[in-house]
Amino acid sequence: MDNTDIYFEQIRSSGCLSYILGCKKNNVCVVIDPEIDKTEEYLMIARDLSSELIYAIDTHTHADHSSACKILRERHGIEVVMHNSTEAPYVDLRTNDGDLIHCGELRIEVMHTPGHTEDSTCLLARDMLFTGDTLLIGGCGRTDLPGGDPEKQYESLRRLASLADHIQVCPAHDYRPAITTLGVEKNTNTRMRFASKEEFVNFMTTRKPPLPRKFHSALEWNRTPIQGTQRGMGEGI
Ligand SMILES: [Fe+2]
């Protein structure tokens, strides 16, 4: 697919990956899974592209780092987009499965893919799938933290497996060049290859990895409004 009419930037912050995606014709863009330490970089990239940053989208409530969505909203007036089930109180547009986020002429389809968290979404824009932590390269997000559900994660991964092989996977975490295709993941990713839900659930529930280093502070930050402001609850999409 010809994507020369869109902006696409992948920004790394340690193992966290965020993305700027936009429409060149209308000079507007969104940032997906922004991380707080990179806030100025997102704004600078948008400026360099002569593009207006209109939405900050979190694919889910992160438990391992602090989202920049709150800062982008409060300091820069950028609307925050998350799934309807999120506990984050600073969301402007609450999405549901099948909703379309409009970014100029670009349409970003929301897929509700619970499992890693209840509010997990994947975002499909043409042949690019922003998978958050639902699907990682060679793995998937853990299911033992708040809102996690291995059975739902299994179903969400099955749903992704039904999409076309050529679709590029753009995950929220990786330490390598972090784009793959669904075809590669279907063939090589053990989490996509369990023969039954029972085996998958057993695998996901017997592993007990340590909590993320910033687990408590990240959830505290991502689930609370900014002190001293009246802004809080989103009004729905
Ligand atoms: Fe996550």
Q: What is the DSSP track for 7-28?
A: EEEEEEETTEEEEEEEETTTTE
Q: Would you state the pLDDT for residue 190?
A: 87
Instruction: Kindly state the percentage of the chain with pLDDT values over 70.
Output: 94
Q: Would you state the pLDDT for residue 210?
A: 79
**For the residues 12-27, what does the mean pLDDT come to?**
94
Q: Which residue has the tokens 């940032």?
A: 31
Distance 215 CA to ligand 1 centre (A): 10
**pLDDT above 50 (res 225):** yes
Distance 234 CA to ligand 1 centre (A): 21
**For the residues 164-176, what does the mean pLDDT come to?**
91
**pLDDT above 70 (res 236):** no
The helix (run of H) or strand (run of E) holding residue 188 is helix 182-188
Distance 198 CA to ligand 1 centre (A): 23
Distance 141 CA to ligand 1 centre (A): 6
Distance 236 CA to ligand 1 centre (A): 23
Distance 142 CA to ligand 1 centre (A): 8
Residues bordering ligand 1, an ion, CB closer than 5 Å? 62, 133
Whether 67 contacts 89, CB under 8 Å: no
Whether 37 contacts 45, CB under 8 Å: no
The helix (run of H) or strand (run of E) holding residue 5 is none
**For the residues 127-147, what does the mean pLDDT come to?**
95
Say which residue, 129 or 15, is predicted with more confidence.
129
Which pLDDT band, with edges at 50, 70 and 90, does 232 fall under? very low
Q: How far is CA 216 from CA 63, 138, 168, 173, in A?
A: 8, 27, 32, 19
Say which residue, 237 or 44, is predicted with more confidence.
44
Domain 6-210 adopts which CATH fold?
Metallo-beta-lactamase; Chain A (3.60.15)
**For the residues 232-237, what does the mean pLDDT come to?**
41
**pLDDT above 60 (res 38):** yes
Q: What is the pLDDT of residues 84-136, one digit of tens each?
A: 999 999 999 999 999 999 999 999 999 999 999 999 999 999 999 999 999 99
Instruction: Kindly state the percentage of the chain with pLDDT values over 90.
Output: 80
Distance 147 CA to ligand 1 centre (A): 11
Q: Would you state the pLDDT for residue 214?
A: 84
Distance 5 CA to ligand 1 centre (A): 30
Distance 26 CA to ligand 1 centre (A): 31
Nearest to 160 by CA among 149, 174, 171: 171
Distance 172 CA to ligand 1 centre (A): 8
Q: Would you state the pLDDT for residue 206?
A: 87
Q: What is the pLDDT of residues 53-91, one digit of tens each?
A: 999 999 999 999 999 999 999 999 999 999 999 999 999
Which pLDDT band, with edges at 50, 70 and 90, does 196 fall under? very high
Whether 156 contacts 120, CB under 8 Å: yes
Whether 143 contacts 209, CB under 8 Å: no
Whether 103 contacts 30, CB under 8 Å: yes
Nearest to 73 by CA among 59, 54, 87, 86: 54
Distance 134 CA to ligand 1 centre (A): 8
Q: Domain residues of the chain, as ranges?
A: 6-210
Q: How far is CA 124 from CA 9, 102, 151, 168, in A?
A: 16, 12, 23, 10
Which pLDDT band, with edges at 50, 70 and 90, does 226 fall under? confident
Q: Would you state the pLDDT for residue 1?
A: 60
Query: Can you tell me the distance from the alpha carbon of 106 to that of 28, in angstroms, rounded to the nearest whole number?
Result: 10
The helix (run of H) or strand (run of E) holding residue 93 is strand 93-95
**pLDDT above 90 (res 233):** no
